[in-house]
Amino acid sequence: MNQLAFSLKENRLNDLLSFPGIDENLLTMKKNALFGSAASSVAIAGMTILGWVLNLPTIVNYGFFLLALSVPMILVILFKKKHIEWFIFGAQMINLLTTMYFMLRLGGLLHSAGLMFTGISVLYMTINLQNVRITLMLFITYLFTLIFTASMQSALVPAPELFAWKNLLFFTVNCSWQAGFTLLLILNNINQKKKLAEVKQAEAVRLTELDELKTKFFTNITHEFRTPLTVILGMADLMKEQPQKWLNDGALKIKSNADRLLHLVNQMLDLSKLEAGAMTLHLQQGDMMAYLHYIVESFSSLAAGKNIRLEFLGENSPVVMDFDPEKILQIISNLVVNAIKFTPPGGKVEVSACRVKGNSSQLEIKVSDTGPGISPEMLPHVFDRFFRVETTTGADAGGTGLGLALVREMAKLIGGSIDVQSRPGSGSTFMLVIPVTNKAAIVAMEHPNPSENDLIPVDHDTSGKTTGKRKTTANADLPVLLIVEDSSDVTEYLQELTGKYYQVITASNGREGLEKALSAVPDIILSDVMMPEMDGISMLDALKNDFRTSHIPVVMLTAKADIQSKLHGLERGADAYISKPFNRDELLLQLRNLLRLRSRLQQRYAGMGPLTPVEDKGTAIEDKFMLKVRNLLEMYLDDDRFGINELCSELGMSRAQLYRKFKSLTNKTVNEYIRSFRLHKARELLISSELNVSEVAYETGFKNLSHFSRVFTEEFGRNPSEISK
Ligand code: ADP
């Protein structure tokens, strides 16, 4: 209790004497000086009262003078920020010289009631100032006052008021309080030295602990690095020795293990970035509930694989607020993955989110599991860096103890806090509380949700007719993205992400996805793998083996574990795989890259040169399609009525499908392509045959000669008669 009262007082004193930026030494100096001044003022006051009682006016005056001197001293100690030692020095000089004056007045060293000892306590007080010059100057002054007063003795007359017993009494009192004061200063000094030693001891313990943690960390981290590296090296050897057998499996294994290493390194980098304050927030406004639901959904197959029930309980209505999606993703993923990792099969992991009761400006997100829980001794340390609970069974759950440290730092960065409650045997609950604000820009909240009609493309036919309705919004120029996903929350989130850059259509399972892909022929497809009715893999297979859709790039969203086995035996894989939960930028970049890659295809198919076979299996079906088109055009070369409708019925495709496919493969409309094809044939004939211009025009389906000349010149920059010469 006393200890507590003392530390409270000490805290208050610290507050009184501190100012922003004060260093520890100055604070100690101020404290000691205040303590010295207060103690000596009490003693001086006692001496003055005694002087008054014994009717000693000179002593009373001396006392008043010293008390008056201590007032500015105390004020300086309380309020001055710099050069306090020099103010104290000045005051002590005045003290010494005044004491000398009173010693002279009272009749010299031996007749002045022991005032000559004042200088000794003045010298003791300088210990606190830690300034050799000041101590020496005060010492010299003190010596001077002693020697000067002694040398003046013959000229002095002892004051009659201080006759023998009063002088002796005061002498004793003065000596005693000087000794007492000195004792206090010495005790204070000892006390401070002791405290300093304790601080040093604690620091030493902390450093040893840190050292132990680091050693432990290095052991863990080397283990973490060694396992994937062993697999990578082993696979590289196998691939070299038996390329036939290991080329595919080996590459996949190398990739997944390299990913693991990369994840580890990224975690370490993130942590050091966070600690250095170099990580920035990218806030945007959106519906937190939808986002959280999406993140939790992403782990459903991981949980299902372990036979764990994973549930999300959110508020009924959207909670639109500022958040940094990347940071929230990292925090929640870490917590959910840990929960799934530690929960035994048959258990349950629940993620809930709601506004804090009584404080709607805060949102609480809880991740609770039915795992083994964490013991009370370990609980305070789970957020420490490199900390891992040692398992009694010796089972290694993997991990480096970085995850939760990262979570805590991220939580701090977003202005929130994280806590954990757990009891061994009854699971753990991690609670994240974050502020709800609405300051950031609203991102893609009003994503387009176009109806199907809107999405049938415009065919810029030379005939001037359009094959579909033009979409009236400014988004009509954006590429069309088909999202195939059974969870409406994930769909909603994906729409929110991509709505700014794409015209989005959605389907809730593989069958519907296939139907919409055939009717709208999107520019790109983003699909989940696990879906009811028809899964993503079957849909992918169907899409890639159909002329009408084979050219469309498909991005599969997968849980890592799903993909390898399922893809086996498929003629053509997806164009890209993204594992859930994904990073928003990574997804957008992947989509954009695939669309860009299409321009390579366009170069291949827009020209009329021979289609030399390439290694890439992916283009085989498109080659087949284009060859079929060319053969048909060749067959009907002289038939001027053979146009887009005839081509459609020959190929078994609708106008819209054919238009979209051509646009995608050649960046030309169907009519442009047909005309270009005819013109190239015409040029070939002009060069290699004896036919004249009008015969050639007729042979290649141009019934109007002047029209032929004009379009020919447009295409090749020279008119046909020049070529035929
Ligand atoms: P790691 O990457 O090693 O999992 P974390 O920082 O994520 O590191 O976790 C630190 C320790 O906290 C883990 O070693 C684990 O023992 C404990 N822990 C974390 N989450 C849970 C949980 N849901 N249930 C039980 N123990 C947990």
Strands 417-422 and 480-484: unpaired
* CATH-assigned architecture of domain 617-724: Orthogonal Bundle (1.10)
CA of 426 to the centre of ligand 1 (A): 15
Where exactly does CATH 3.30.565.10 map onto the chain? 280-454
Residues with Cβ within 8 Å of 33's Cβ and at least 6 positions away in sequence, in order, are 73, 77, 84, 88, 125, 128, 129
8 Å CB contact between 234 and 257: no
- Whether the upstream peptide bond of residue 581 has omega within 30° of 0, thus cis, is yes
Cross-strand pairs, 554: 525
Query: Is the minimum distance from the CB of 400 to ligand 1 under 6 angstroms?
Result: yes
Measured distance CA(179)–CA(200) in Å, rounded: 32
Can you give the pLDDT at residue 460? 33
Q: How far is the CA of 435 from the centre of ligand 1 (A)?
A: 25
Distance 586 CA to ligand 1 centre (A): 27
The CA 8 to ligand 1 mean position distance, Å, reads 38
Sheet holding 359-369, edge to edge: 309-313, 348-356, 359-369, 428-435, 417-422
338 in contact with ligand 1, CB cutoff 6 A: yes
Location of structure tokens 């260093």: 23
- Identify which has the larger pLDDT, 455 or 6: 6
Nearest CA to ligand 1 atom 7: 403
Band (pLDDT 50/70/90 cuts) for residue 715 is confident
From the candidate CATH numbers 3.30.390.30, 3.40.640.10, 3.40.50.1000, 3.40.50.2300, the one assigned to the domain spanning 480-600: 3.40.50.2300
pLDDT at 559: 65
Report how far residue 445's alpha carbon sits from residue 449's, in angstroms, rounded to the nearest whole number. Answer: 11
Compute φ and ψ for 479, nearest 5 degrees: -65, 155
| Residue 401 CB less than 6 A away from ligand 1 | yes
Element (H, E) at 427: none
Best residue among 367, 391, 404 to mutate for probing ligand 1, ranked by most atoms within 8 Å of CB: 404
Count CA within 13 A, CB hemisphere, residue 568: 7
Task: Kindly tell me if the per-residue pLDDT of 365 is higher than 90.
Answer: yes
Both structure tokens of 313: 């309980």
User: 423-438: per-residue pLDDT in tens?
Assistant: 898 899 999 999 999 9
Closest CA to 327 of 387, 263, 284, 276: 284
- Kind and range of the H or E element at 522? none
End-to-end CA distance of the chain: 115
Average pLDDT over every residue of 495-502: 86
- The pLDDT assigned to 78 comes to 82
Alpha-carbon distance of 623 to 667, in angstroms, equals 16
120-143 average pLDDT score: 88
CB-count burial class (<10 Å; 0-12, 13-18, 19+) for 163: exposed
Model pTM score = 0.48
More confident residue, 465 or 75: 75
Cβ of 333 below 6 Å from ligand 1? no
Cβ of 409 closer than 6 Å to ligand 1, yes or no, is no
Q: What is the pLDDT of residue 475?
A: 65
Boundaries of CATH 1.10.10.60 in the chain? 617-724
Average pLDDT rounded to a whole number, residues 384-402: 61
Looking at this protein, which amino acid is placed at residue 707?
Answer: H
Average pLDDT over every residue of 371-387: 86
Percent of the chain at pLDDT exceeding 70: 88
State the Cα–Cα distance between residues 400 and 217, nearest whole angstrom: 7
Top pLDDT among 561 and 230 is at 230
Tokens of residue 372, six digits: 């083994």
Q: Residue 578 forms beta bridges with which residues? A: 557
* Separation of CA 286 and ligand 1 centre (Å): 30
Residue-wise DSSP of 584-643: HHHHHHHHHHHHHHHHHHHHHHHS-S-----S-GGGHHHHHHHHHHHHHHHHTTT-TT--
The pLDDT of residue 570: 54
**CA 144 to CA 151: how far, in whole Å?**
10
Residue 395 pLDDT more than 50? no
- Decide if pLDDT at 527 tops 70: yes
For the chain, residues classed under CATH 3.40.50.2300 are: 480-600
Q: Whole-angstrom Cα distance, residue 580 to residue 578?
A: 7
- The pLDDT assigned to 386 comes to 67
Distance CA 624, CA 620 (A): 6
Residue 387 above 50 pLDDT?
yes
Contact 432, 294 (CB under 8 A): no
- To test the pocket of ligand 1, the residue of 274, 330, 374, 423 to mutate (highest count of ligand atoms within 8 Å of its CB) is 374
State if residue 379 touches ligand 1 by the CB under 6 angstroms criterion: no
- Give the CATH fold of the 280-454 domain: Heat Shock Protein 90 (3.30.565)
